[in-house]
Amino acid sequence: MACAWDFQFRVLLLGDSGVGKTSLLRWYTDGEFSSSTGQTVGVDFCSRVEEPEDGVKVRLQFWDTAGQERYRAVTRSYYRNASAVILLFDLTARPSFDNILNWYQEVIERTRPEPLIYLLLGTKSDLRAQRTVTREEGQTLADTLKAPYLETSARTGSNITAALSLLCRELLKMARQEKTQGERWKGRCTTVPEAQHTQKRTCAC
Ligand code: GDP
Ligand code: MG
C-alpha cells in the first residue's frame, strides 16, 4: 500500500512473553484480534500512519520482539535508534508487572541514544475478574518512569487508539523541540526534506 508521511519514528515494544505485545499491534495496524498470534522468530515490523494534526502525517514504525523476550535475549540491534518505547505488562499476571523495571533498566543500558518517550500499558483489561495489579499500582509505576499510563485490551480494542495517538502527539512535540536542538535528534526520526513538503513524498510501506 502506498502512503505519504512527514515524520517517521521507530517505536519498540517490550515486556514479558505473553503480555499481548503482538495482539495489541495487530489490533492497531490490522484492526483485528486473534486468540493465537503465533511465535515468530527474530523481529516483526509493522507500521501505521497517524495524522495528529491536520495535514501532518506521522508514520509509526513498530518493532515487536518475536520470541527472544521469552529468554530475555533481545538483541542489541533491536534497541538502536528507538524514538519511543512501549513497556507492557499483563494486568492479570503479576510477575510481568514486577519485571517492568528490569525491562526499563535494559532499555537504559542498551539504547543509544536514549529513547525520547516511554509509555506504560497494562494489558488485557477485559479480564477484570482475573486482575492482579490495580490501576493505582500501574499509575505509581508510570509516575516513577515519568511515562503516561493506560490500560488496554486487544480483545475489545479499549484504549489502544487512545494510547498510540497520545504517543504520536508526544513524539511530534518532542521531535519539534529536538530538531531545534540538533544532536539528540539525529537518526531518531526520518523527515521528508522541506523541499518535498509541498508535493508529499510517497513511500512503500
Ligand atoms: P506477546 O508474547 O507479548 O506478543 O503476546 P501475544 O500477543 O502473543 O498474546 C499472548 C496471549 O494473550 C494470546 O493468547 C492472546 O490471544 C492473549 N491476549 C493478548 N491480548 C489480550 C487481551 O487484551 N485480552 C485477552 N483476553 N487476551 C489477550
Ligand atoms: Mg509476540
| Helix pair 100-110, 135-145: axis angle to 10 deg | 20
Residue 2 lies in a domain: no
Over residues 93-114, the mean pLDDT reads: 91
d(CA 124, CA 194) in angstroms, rounded, equals 42
Query: Range of 155's domain?
Result: 14-202
pLDDT over 80 at 50, yes or no: yes
Instruction: Please list the residues that pair with 14 across neighbouring strands.
Output: 87
Ligand 1 interacting residues, C-beta cut-off 6 A = 17-23, 35, 37, 123-124, 126-127, 153-155
pLDDT tier, 187 (very low <50, low <70, confident <90, very high otherwise): low
Provide the domain count of the chain: 1
Over residues 50-63, the mean pLDDT reads: 90
Residue 52 lies in a domain: yes
Residue 42 is predicted with a pLDDT of 61
Task: Tell me the CA distances in angstroms from 195 to 58, 107, 189, 192, 200, one per residue in order.
Answer: 18, 35, 17, 8, 10
**Ligand 1 atom index nearest CA of 66:** 4
d(CA 120, CA 87) in angstroms, rounded, equals 5
Residue 9 lies in a domain: no
pLDDT over 70 at 192, yes or no: no
Residue 124 has, within 13 A of its CA and on its CB side, a CA count of 23
pLDDT mean across residues, the chain: 83
Protein residue whose Cα sits closest to atom 9 of ligand 1: 20
Task: Tell me the CA distances in angstroms from 21 to 59, 65, 123, 184, 194, one per residue in order.
Answer: 19, 8, 9, 27, 35
Over residues 145-171, the mean pLDDT reads: 96
SS3 20: coil
Residue 142 is predicted with a pLDDT of 98
pLDDT tier, 74 (very low <50, low <70, confident <90, very high otherwise): confident
**Ligand 1 atom index nearest CA of 19:** 3
- pTM of the shown model: 0.87
Yes or no: say if 154 and 123 are a contact pair by the CB < 8 Å rule: yes
**Ligand 1 atom index nearest CA of 156:** 23
- φ and ψ at 117, to 5 degrees? -140, 140
d(CA 139, CA 89) in angstroms, rounded, equals 13
Residue 4 lies in a domain: no
Task: Express as a percent the part of the chain with pLDDT over 70.
Answer: 80
Q: Which of 37, 40, 45, 99 to mutate to test the pocket of ligand 1 (most atoms within 8 A of CB)?
A: 37
DSSP code at position 99? T
Asked which of 147-151, 166-170, 180-184 is least confident by mean pLDDT, the reply is 180-184
d(CA 88, CA 97) in angstroms, rounded, equals 8
Instruction: Please list the residues that pair with 58 across neighbouring strands.
Output: 7, 50
CATH code, domain carrying 124: 3.40.50.300
Residue 127 is predicted with a pLDDT of 98
Residue 7 lies in a domain: no
d(CA 16, CA 72) in angstroms, rounded, equals 8
pLDDT tier, 31 (very low <50, low <70, confident <90, very high otherwise): confident
Residue 183 lies in a domain: yes
Residue 8 lies in a domain: no
Residue 6 lies in a domain: no
pLDDT over 80 at 193, yes or no: no
Please state, as a whole number, how many other Cβ atoms lie within 10 Å of the Cβ of residue 58. 22
